[in-house]
Structure 1
Amino acid sequence: MAQEIRPHAIWLALIGVAGGLMSGLFGVGGGTIIVPALAIWLSMPQKLSAGTSVLAILPTAIVGATTYALQGQVDWIAAICLALGMIVGAQLGTILLQKLSVDVVQWSFMIFLGIVIVTLWFVVPHRDAQIDMTFWTVFFLVVTGFAAGILSGLLGVGGGVIVVPVLMFFFGASDLIAKGTSLLMMIPGSMSATLGNVRRQNVDFRAAAWVGLAACLFVPLGSLLAGWIDPFWGNVAFSLYLVFVVTQMLLRWFKNRAK
Structure 2
Amino acid sequence: MNPPTPRPGFASLALAGAVTGLMSGLFGIGGGVLLVPALVMLLGFPQRLAAGTSVAAILPAGIVGGIAYGLQGNVDWISALALAVGMVAGAQLGSWLLSRVSTRFLKGLFMVFLAAVVVSLWFAVPQRDAEIDLDVLTFVLLVVTGLATGTLSGLVGVGGGVIVVPVLMFFYGASDLVAKGTSLIMLIPGSVSGTLGNWKRKNVDLRAALIIGIAASVVSPLGTLCAGLITPLWSNIAFSALLLIILVQMVVTSIRQGRRRD
What TM-score results when the alignment is normalised by the length of structure 2? 0.90
Aligned residue for 2:136? 135
The residue type equivalent to 1:78 in the other structure is S
Deviation at 1:243, TM superposition (A): 1.3
Residues 55 and 154, structure 2, Cα contact 8 Å, conserved in 1 = yes
The residue type equivalent to 2:56 in the other structure is L
Tell me: CA distance 1:56–1:119, structure 2 relative to 1, closer, same or farther (3 Å).
Answer: closer
Deviation at 1:40, TM superposition (A): 2.1
Residues 47 and 103, structure 2, Cα contact 8 Å, conserved in 1 = no
Aligned residue for 1:22? 23
Aligned residue for 2:244? 243
Tell me: CA distance 1:240–1:103, structure 2 relative to 1, closer, same or farther (3 Å).
Answer: same
For residues 102 and 67 of structure 1, what CA distance do their matches in structure 2 show? 36
For structure 1, which segment, 242-251 or 171-180, has the greater mean C-alpha deviation from structure 2 after superposition? 242-251
The residue type equivalent to 1:71 in the other structure is Q
Tell me: CA distance 1:123–1:199, structure 2 relative to 1, closer, same or farther (3 Å).
Answer: closer
Deviation at 1:115, TM superposition (A): 4.5
Aligned residue for 1:97? 98
Residues 110 and 156, structure 2, Cα contact 8 Å, conserved in 1 = no
For structure 1, which segment, 96-105 or 77-86, has the greater mean C-alpha deviation from structure 2 after superposition? 96-105
For residues 97 and 244 of structure 1, what CA distance do their matches in structure 2 show? 25
Aligned residue for 2:162? 161
For residues 75 and 64 of structure 2, what CA distance do their matches in structure 1 show? 13
Aligned residue for 2:66? 65
Where does 1:208-219 land on structure 2 (aligned, <5 Å)?
Answer: 208-219=209-220
Tell me: CA distance 1:79–1:248, structure 2 relative to 1, closer, same or farther (3 Å).
Answer: farther
Aligned residue for 2:4? none
Q: Answer yes or no: is 1:194 the counterpart of 2:185.
A: no
For residues 149 and 24 of structure 1, what CA distance do their matches in structure 2 show? 20
The residue type equivalent to 2:187 in the other structure is M
For residues 106 and 82 of structure 1, what CA distance do their matches in structure 2 show? 26
Aligned residue for 2:3? none
Identity within the alignment, %: 58
Deviation at 1:148, TM superposition (A): 1.2
Aligned structure 1 segments of 4 or more residues deviating by more than 6 angstroms: none
Deviation at 1:109, TM superposition (A): 5.5
Q: Alignment length, in residue pairs? A: 255
For structure 1, which segment, 224-233 or 98-107, has the greater mean C-alpha deviation from structure 2 after superposition? 98-107
RMSD: 2.1
Deviation at 1:134, TM superposition (A): 1.8
Deviation at 1:147, TM superposition (A): 1.4
Deviation at 1:234, TM superposition (A): 1.1
The residue type equivalent to 2:236 in the other structure is N
For residues 229 and 172 of structure 2, what CA distance do their matches in structure 1 show? 23
What TM-score results when the alignment is normalised by the length of structure 1? 0.91
For residues 248 and 213 of structure 1, what CA distance do their matches in structure 2 show? 27
Deviation at 1:152, TM superposition (A): 1.4
Deviation at 1:249, TM superposition (A): 3.9
Tell me: CA distance 1:115–1:37, structure 2 relative to 1, closer, same or farther (3 Å).
Answer: closer
Deviation at 1:107, TM superposition (A): 4.6
For residues 18 and 252 of structure 1, what CA distance do their matches in structure 2 show? 22
For residues 109 and 53 of structure 1, what CA distance do their matches in structure 2 show? 13
Deviation at 1:252, TM superposition (A): 4.6
Aligned residue for 1:3? none
